[in-house]
C-alpha cells in the first residue's frame, strides 16, 4: 500500500528546465526605477532570439541578467536548466557574452587575453583553439598586439574571439556588428551564426535583419515593458519599427 501524498509536478518548472532560456515575470529595478517589467518568454535550445527596442528599454540589462552578472529584482529566470541566481555557478562556463565593452585587458596582447580567459574556463592547451579563432576573425597577425593598440573594429573581433573561446552553448550578443565595416561584418556573421546546439540571444538595432535571422523576437518599450514576445514570423518590420520609435 502506498502511503503519503503524491504531488503533481509543476508544468512551468518542467518547461523552464527544458528551455535554454525561460523567463517568468522578470523585473529589474535600479533603485526605485523599473528597467524591465514583467518579461516572460521561452527560448528552446538551438534557437535564436532577437531583442529590439529603443535606447534605455533594458535590452542590455536583460543580457546581463542572462549572463549571471545582474540579479533580477523579481520573477523567475532559468538558463540552460539552472535557476538564477542560485544556480549561476553551474552555467557560467557554458555562456559566451559579448558586451558593449570588450572585457579585455588593455595592456595584455590579444593572445594573452585569450590565454587568460582559457585558464578561467579550465581549457587545457588552448593554443590550437586560439589560433583557429584568430584566423577565422582575420586577426592571425595581430595576436601579439596589445589590446590598447587595436582599432575599434579589431577590438570588437577580439572580443568575439573571447566570447567564443569555450564553445559556449548560449551566446549573448550585444550589437555584435558594432564598429565593423562590411567585410568584417561578414566575417563576424560566419563566426557567430547558427551552429548545432548553439542558442543565441542578440540585441540589435537592425530591425529587418534582426527579425529575419531569428526564430523568436522580444520587443521592449521605452519603459521596459514587453510590446511583443513570440515567433519572429509574427512581427512585421513596420510594427517592430513603430515599437522602437515609441509609436506603439
pTM reported for the whole predicted model: 0.91
DSSP secondary structure letter of residue 109: B
CATH number of the domain to which 137 belongs: 3.40.50.300
Pairing relationship of beta strands 74-79 and 82-84 according to DSSP bridges: antiparallel
Report the distance separating Cα 138 and Cα 154, nearest Å.
9
Cell of 176: 555584435
Residue 3 lies in a domain: no
Residue 64 lies in a domain: yes
Residue 240 lies in a domain: yes
Residue 2 lies in a domain: no
Residue 192 lies in a domain: yes
Report the distance separating Cα 210 and Cα 217, nearest Å.
8
pLDDT tens profile 194-226: 999 899 999 999 999 999 999 999 999 999 999
Residue 108 lies in a domain: yes
Q: What are the two backbone dihedrals, phi and then psi, of residue 178, each rounded to the nearest 5 degrees?
A: -60, 140
Residue 1 lies in a domain: no
Q: Which domain holds residue 168?
A: 14-79+91-244
Residue 155 lies in a domain: yes
Report the distance separating Cα 163 and Cα 239, nearest Å.
32
Q: What are the two backbone dihedrals, phi and then psi, of residue 202, each rounded to the nearest 5 degrees?
A: -125, 120
Q: How many structural domains are present in the chain?
A: 1
pLDDT tens profile 60-104: 999 999 999 999 999 999 999 999 999 999 999 999 999 999 999
Amino acid at each position: 500500500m502506498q502511503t503519503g501524498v503524491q504531488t503533481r509536478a509543476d508544468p512551468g518548472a518542467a518547461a523552464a528546465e527544458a528551455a535554454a532560456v525561460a523567463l517568468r515575470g522578470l523585473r529589474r529595478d535600479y533603485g526605485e526605477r523599473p528597467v524591465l517589467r514583467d518579461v516572460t518568454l521561452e527560448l528552446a535550445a538551438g534557437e535564436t532570439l532577437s531583442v529590439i527596442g529603443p535606447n534605455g528599454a533594458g535590452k542590455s540589462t536583460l543580457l546581463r541578467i542572462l549572463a549571471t552578472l545582474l540579479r533580477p529584482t523579481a520573477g523567475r529566470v532559468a538558463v540552460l536548466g539552472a535557476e538564477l541566481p542560485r544556480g549561476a555557478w553551474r552555467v557560467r562556463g557554458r555562456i559566451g557574452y559579448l558586451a558593449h565593452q570588450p572585457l579585455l585587458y588593455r595592456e595584455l596582447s590579444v593572445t594573452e587575453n585569450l590565454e587568460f580567459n582559457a585558464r578561467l574556463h579550465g581549457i587545457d592547451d588552448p593554443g590550437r583553439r586560439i589560433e583557429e579563432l584568430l584566423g577565422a576573425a582575420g586577426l592571425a597577425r595581430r595576436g601579439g598586439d596589445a589590446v590598447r593598440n587595436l582599432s575599434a573594429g579589431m577590438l570588437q573581433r577580439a572580443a568575439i574571439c573571447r566570447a567564443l573561446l569555450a564553445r559556449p552553448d548560449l551566446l549573448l550578443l550585444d550589437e555584435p556588428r558594432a564598429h565593423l565595416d562590411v567585410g568584417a561584418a561578414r566575417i563576424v556573421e560566419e563566426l557567430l551564426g547558427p551552429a548545432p546546439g548553439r542558442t543565441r540571444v542578440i540585441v540589435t538595432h537592425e530591425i529587418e535583419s534582426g527579425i529575419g535571422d531569428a526564430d523568436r523576437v522580444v520587443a521592449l518599450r521605452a519603459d521596459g515593458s514587453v510590446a511583443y514576445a513570440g515567433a519572429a514570423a509574427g512581427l512585421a518590420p513596420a510594427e517592430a519599427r513603430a515599437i522602437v520609435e515609441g509609436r506603439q
